[in-house]
Each structure stands twice: as C-alpha cells, then as structure tokens.
Structure 1
Amino acid sequence: MPVFRMPSLGADMEAGKLVQWLVSPGQRVKRGDIVAVVETQKGAIEIEVFEDGVVEELSASLGQTLPVGAALAVIRGDGEDHAPEIAAAPSATPELAGTGRPEPAPVPAPPAGAAGLAASPAARAEAARIGIDLSTLHGSGPGGAIVLADLPGAELVPAAPQAGATVEGMRSAIGAAMSRSKREIPHYYVSHTSDLDAAAQWLAAWNAPRPPKERVLLAALMARAIALSAREVPELNGHFGSQGFTPASRVHLGLAVALRGGGLVAPAIADADTLTLAELMAAMRDVTLRARTGRLRSWEMTNATITFSSLGETGVDAMAGIIVPPQVAMVTAGTPRRMALVRDKAAVAALAATLTLSADHRVSDGRIGARFLALVDRKLQHPEAL
C-alpha cells in the first residue's frame, strides 16, 4: 500500500507546510489528481498523486510543516486490505537529481467540492473572498472545471500575500538553490544576436485579424523555436542526477515568471515542442497567471527539462542565466530593440535580440551550444514554419 509523501518541489526545498486537504479518507483517487495544497517559500503548490487507489488515512494534519519525504497519507491500491507501517521520513535535503520522477499524467479537472462542482482551489478561495457563487459561472478548465480566470475581473485581482512565501523567504530559497547550482554545475555560456525583423513582420500580420486575447507575443515565437531546437539537441534537454545525465524524451519548457511581490519561479509547460504557436501562447498566459496567484502544481515545479527566461521590455541587451538543477541548460533573451546589423553586405537598423545559452559542461560543450543557438536562429528567420 503506497505511502504518499511530501514531494520535493525543487532543489531549494527542504520542507513544506500542509495548508489544505482536497481529499478525505475513503475517497477514490487516480494518478494525476490534485489531493493537497502545500505552502513553500515560493508560494502555495497544488500536490498531485501518482497512484490509483482509495485514501486509507490522512497521516499529516493541516498546519504541519513537514520535511521532504515525510508521510502525508496512505493510499490503498486495488486488492490491498491493510495499511502499511509508515517508515520514517528520509532526509529533508533533496538531491540535484530528480530523474526518477514518473512521467506526467494529463492534467485532470480540479476536484469537486461538497456540492459536486469542479473548481480549482485558487478559484474557490478567490470566489469566497469576493462573494461570488461558483454555481453561476461556466468553467473553462479541464472537464469544464472553474478556474481562476473564469471569475469576473480575475486578471485584475492581485495575488494575495502567502504566509511563508515572503520576498525574504523566496530570495533566501532562490539564493540557496542558485549558489548550489554554481558550485556543482560547471557553466559555460554562448550568445548570439538574432535578426527578428522577419519574425516581427510575420507576427504582426498573423495577429492583425485576431482579437487581443488570441494574439501571440514575440516571446512565444522564441519559446517555440527553443522548444523545437531542444528536441533536436538532446544534450541540452534533460536532467543530471547521481547516475549522470538522462536525456528527456519530451520537452517540458520551464518558463521564468517574475512575481508581483518580488521573486521568481519557473514552472514547466508540458510537451512544449508539440504545441502549436497559439497553444503555447495560451499555456504561457495560463502558467503566468497561476504563478502570480500562487496556484502552481507540483508537477510543474519539478519537471522542466530546459528553461527559457525573457527580459521583455526591461531595456537590457543580454543576461547569462544560472541553470536550474537538475536541468542542464537555460536560455535567456534580451530586450528586442533596433540594432545596427549587416545584411547583404550593408548596414541596416533591424529589430534584434541577443539570446544567451547557459549550459552544463559535464554534458555538452561550446560546439553543441553553438549548434543549438544556430538552430534557434534559423527557426526565427522562418517564423511561418513555427
């Protein structure tokens, strides 16, 4: 009978506070169901279960702060008739590895409440705060579930401060993880300035007939080029653990999101290389909104295989990022701006941006990194193929 334990939600996590149960003893669950909400230094994370069965008992109480590996619940599988001895929790210090994580299940509909209405925990909490009856709304989430974006004015509501997710706490967590990354990962860096005139012109024409909510940003075009290139250069897509490097069979693109109160998270967009440009843009909007309202899922926090960070309109030309363990690569994009470029032996003022790859020298070298950035650049020169 599996014991459901506090998961590691990143290399910087040692413990988490259980703030909400979404299941009760006797309830049947299936792989991928969200069963609890845990608060970490990076906010409230929805925790998924990876076994089918029936909840035998809830071993942890609300409000408890538990180390990674501590028992949260017991799930009785089909054909099992007694609870196991719950072993002591392993060390709360996670390893860089994480390569043994199960493959993700499709994201299920958020669990139904007492009235049988499916809604995400974030939507329920916000609806209660502003006094909206969820039964009057139509859900746009999986299986028709109500999600935060379905609430009137949801995009205008700032994220509520999370206890345990203060800026100081988040900075401390980020600092610890990045210090460890720089100590243990031999970084190397490759940069390339890409001419984006063709991409911007094509995107303007593509967006023109579409309403604002369906338009695609230049960052999504870059993200798609990076995801497709990562599929072609497997040395940069995967995890490095205690047994060395394991290339990933899929591209789960981590997207760096700056939070409103300060700090940064980089949740994963599953199978980013298989999404159309419009689907990828929608996924980027969704994960950004949920990151800023403190309702990411545990899978999203742990399974990115390569990360993309865009500096947007900050006015900065370039940045060399620090790799997020156990990944082996990160790509950053500077602010697109008019630059002097040479095209057909003539100097022109063109829209351009500098892309910088940070990569793990234990797995790849500058030649491979240069091939990767050249692939990204070629794809951006032919945006119609993206």
Structure 2
Amino acid sequence: MMGVFQMPSLGADMEDGTLVEWLVAPGDDVKRGDIVAVVETQKGAIEIEIFEAGIVQSLDAELGARLPVGAPLATILAEGEAPPPAPAAPTDEAEAERHEIAPTATAPPPPETRTITFGIAASPAARRRAAEAHIELAGLAGSGPGGAVMLRDVEGIAPAQDSPARKPSDAMAEMRKAIAAAMQRSKREIPHFQLSQSVDIQTASDWLSARNADLPPAERILLGTLFLKAAALAAAKVKEMNGHYGDDGFIPARAVNLGVAVALRGGGLIAPAIPQADGLSLPDLMAAMKDLVARARAMRLRSSEMTSGTLTVSSLGEKGADAMAGIIFPPQVALLAIGAPKLRPWVVDGEVVPRLLATFTLSADHRVSDGRQANRFLAEIDAQLQKPEAL
C-alpha cells in the first residue's frame, strides 16, 4: 500500500527541520534502514533513514524547505504495487474550450533547474558549502574516510567572493538554544531525583591494564567502555531505568540502546545511541563508541541514533570533577553521570589502602522509579565492575 514518508521527530524538542539533501530519486528502490535524505535541525545535520521497503514514487518536498514534524517528504510505493494512473489527457474539445476562455498572456519563463547529486559521500557541511558556491561534488576528490568530501575540500576551491557558510558560532548558538529548551522542559516536566554511589574501580582498572599491555593501541579498550557495558547490563536487569515515558505512561524497552553524551568541538552536546549495547562484547562496544563519537563530531549521525536511546550515560572522562548530576533526556527516564576516577583512601579487609574510585550519580524519573530501584541499579553496576573479566 502506498505510504507517505514524513519529516521525523529527531528529539522531544524538535518542531521542524530543513531539508538540505535528497539521497534518492523517483524510481529508486529503498529498504528499511536506507538513508534517503539529510535534514538540518538546531542540533546539526542528521541523515534520515526510512523504515519501509518500496519504490520512491515522488519527492514531495523542496530542498531548502523548512518543514514541521509530520510534513510529507516523499511518496513510497509498496513492493509490487503499481503506480497510480496518470491523469487523463484532455480531449480536443476541452482543450479548444480552454484556449477559447483563457486570456492571452506571455508565457512565463521556464523554471530554473537544479542538479541534485545522489550517492556522493560528503559531510553535511561540505554539501552546504558546495551548494552555496555552486560547486559540483562529483568533481571533487574527498579527503575524508572512504574518500568522502569534507568541508576543507570544498573550501580549497570555493571562490572567496561567494557568500560564506553559517559561522560555527551561529551554529553553536542555535544548538545551545535547542539544548536549553530541551533541558528546561525536562526539568519542568520530569520529577527528577538523584542517587550517588562511590565505586571501587581498582580491580577493573588493573584487569584492563593487564589486558591492554601486549595489544597495539588500535585494539586497546578504554576504562569508559567497561563503564558503558556495566551500565547496559544493569539496565537490562533493572528495567525501570530503561525505556520511554509518554502519553501512555512508562513503556520499558526491549533492548538497551545506550545513549552516549558526546561533547562537540566548539561547544554543544549530543547523545546518540548504541543499539543493543548490553549484547556487545567489549571490543565491539569500544568500536561502536569510537565510531559514534567520530560521526557525532563530523555531524554524520543517523536519525535512528538520535531517537532510539533508552538510557544515557554521560562521563567526565579521566580528568575533571569528582561527580556530577545530569538532566534526563526526554522521553528517557534515567541518566547516569560518571565522575572522573580519583585515587582515594578506601577500607579493604579492615585496612585503609589507596584505591581508584569513581562516583556514579543516577538521575531518575520519580514517576517510574524510586530509591529502591535506583539503589539496585547502582549496586548492579558496582557488582559488574568487580568482575571485569565477565563483562
């Protein structure tokens, strides 16, 4: 059955987006998960996936159009479905009658044509700059991953007199507005409560050092990967921390799609998700995290990565404050914030010894959980990190 592909919602705070590129044309076959368009929001340019298989019948939105969530973008024919019949041609009599009653007028000039390039790997920033400078991407040699055209490739040949692309400071200002709106709504609508626990991570750190000792840098695992896996496993057990809260109340998620808060260069924060993180091995989780961070900072994220998160983890890394309390990303119901690991005095077997500690602070939605579930979640993370070889 013919379907309408609509402007998706890429976050609880999104009201509209600007269509900046089509990656398909009428007549193209598409399948679930294919990237078909690029939409720019206040959080950057996002690659839009389609979630039905079929044939593109028509593109129903113009490039550059700012469209609200739910606006039609394209018409998709189901597999095997015949296209609708073309409008019947007017009869000679009707055509003659139309000419008799139509006033004489000068024919309008033909509309300006635009050439749309499909299937060329390029960053959204490069595409915007190329469009502004009237440069064909097909003629450029890309310096990015897999030969992708990057902004620097376009800037190298773009005429100086062309209108400049939007300043990074302007983009960051827009992102800050989006973050402020989302966080203000979150604090207003979600009854947050926080619970913190200091976790002895010395055993995990020692195990990781031994594991990484004889491996090349590309195969080593960061301590933060263990934190992510422990959080994902805990979320799979304490389901009140993993899901979405909407008009129908709380809906627990079937999988742990772990959102990872990524600080962008120049400012801003974004939290795309790693799907089914609880089922990934540590090397696979490390690879997924590196890939996600790289694409987030290059603004090459997919729409599903922006909307599928069921729990978010935000870490301060190896250096920074001891602890922080985060704000939940709606419609999620929890956020785990991890302070920088610090060497502290700690009691082990009745003796005070130096141990590496990290403070885990859970922000949770009181409509879904209370201190009992939050305590279970943090205790489960602690337990997982005491046996890192099993992660």
Category of TM-score, reference length = shorter chain: 0.7 to 0.9
Name the counterpart of 1:56: 57
1:283 maps to which residue?
Answer: 288
Q: Is the 8 A contact 1:221 1:380 kept in 2?
A: yes
CA distance in structure 2 between the aligned counterparts of 1:75 and 1:288, rounded to whole angstroms: 33
Tell me which moved more, 206-215 or 303-312: 206-215
- Segment drifting more, 50-59 vs 164-173: 164-173
Match runs of 1:260-299 below 5 Å: 260-299=265-304
Are 1:324 and 2:325 matched, yes or no?
no
CA contact (8 A) 1:313 1:335 kept: yes
1:191 paired to 2:192: no
Match of 1:214 in 2: 219
Aligned equivalents of 1:162, 1:124: Cα separation in 2: 11
Query: Unpaired segments of 5 or more residues in structure 1?
Result: 85-112, 138-147
2:266 alignment partner AA: G
* CA distance in structure 2 between the partners assigned to 1:166 and 1:50 by the alignment: 29
Deviation of the 1:347 alpha carbon: 1.3
Q: Provide the rounded CA distance (Å) in 1 between the counterparts of 2:124 and 2:191.
A: 42
Pairing 1:2-81 to 2, within 5 Å after superposition:
2-81=3-82
Distance 2:210 2:374 in 1: 32
Which amino acid in 1 is paired with 2:25? S
Give the distance between the partners of 1:261 and 1:67, measured in 2 at CA: 28
Q: What is the SS of the residue equivalent to 1:166? A: helix
Partner of 2:379: 374
Equivalent-residue separation in structure 2 for 1:49 and 1:164 (angstroms): 32
SS in structure 2 of the partner of residue 74 of structure 1: strand
CA distance in 2, matches of 1:36, 1:77: 19
Over residues 278-311 of structure 1, what are the superposed CA-to-partner deviations in whole Å (9 max), with x where a residue is unaligned? 0000000000000000110000000100000001
Structure-2 change in CA distance of 1:285 and 1:184 (3 Å): same
Give the letter for the 1:338 counterpart.
L
Provide, for residues 219-273 of structure 1, a one-character-per-residue CA deviation record: whole Å limited to 9, x for no partner.
0000000001100111110111100101011000000000002100000001100
Number of the residue aligned with 1:87: none
Query: Residues 163, 16 of structure 1: CA spacing in aligned structure 2 closer, same or farther, 3 A cutoff?
Result: farther
- Deviation digits for residues 120-173 of structure 1, max 9, x if unmatched? 4439959998x8747xx9xxxxxxxxxx54459x9x99xx97879711111110
8 Å contact 2:45–2:124 — kept in the other structure?
no
Q: Is the 8 A contact 2:260 2:274 kept in 1?
A: yes
1:56–1:83 CA contact under 8 A, matched in 2: no
Letter in 2 for 1:11: A
The TM-score, its normalising length taken from structure 1, stands at 0.82
Distance 1:209 1:338 in 2: 25
Unaligned runs of 5+ in 2: 86-116, 131-135, 154-164
Structure 1 residue 342, shift from structure 2 partner = 1.4
Equivalent residue runs for 1:154-303 within 5 Å: 166-303=171-308
User: Does the C-alpha gap of structure 1 residues 151 and 197 become closer, same or farther in structure 2, counting only changes over 3 Å?
Assistant: farther
Closer/same/farther in 2, CA of residues 123 and 69 from structure 1, 3 Å limit: closer
Identity score, percent: 57
- Deviation for aligned residue 1:345: 1.5
CA deviation vs aligned residue, 1:335-354 (integer Å, no higher than 9, x gap): 01111211112111111100
Contact 2:141/2:147 (<8 A) preserved: no
Query: Is the CA contact 2:124–2:300 (under 8 Å) kept in the aligned structure 1?
Result: no
- The residue type equivalent to 2:207 in the other structure is W
Within 2, Cα distance between the matches of 1:83 and 1:294? 38
Change (3 A) 1:150 1:200: farther
**Match of 1:362, SS?**
coil
Q: For 1:302-381, list aligned pairs within 5 A.
A: 302-381=307-386
1:190 Cα deviation from its structure 2 partner: 0.8
Aligned to 2:123, what secondary structure does the other structure show? helix
> How far, CA to CA, are the matches of 2:12 and 2:318 in structure 1?
29
1:214: how far off?
1.4
CA gap of 1:24–1:43, structure 2 versus 1, over 3 A, is same
**Structure 2 Cα separation of the partners of residues 189 and 63 of structure 1:** 43
Number of residue pairs aligned between Structure 1 and Structure 2: 339
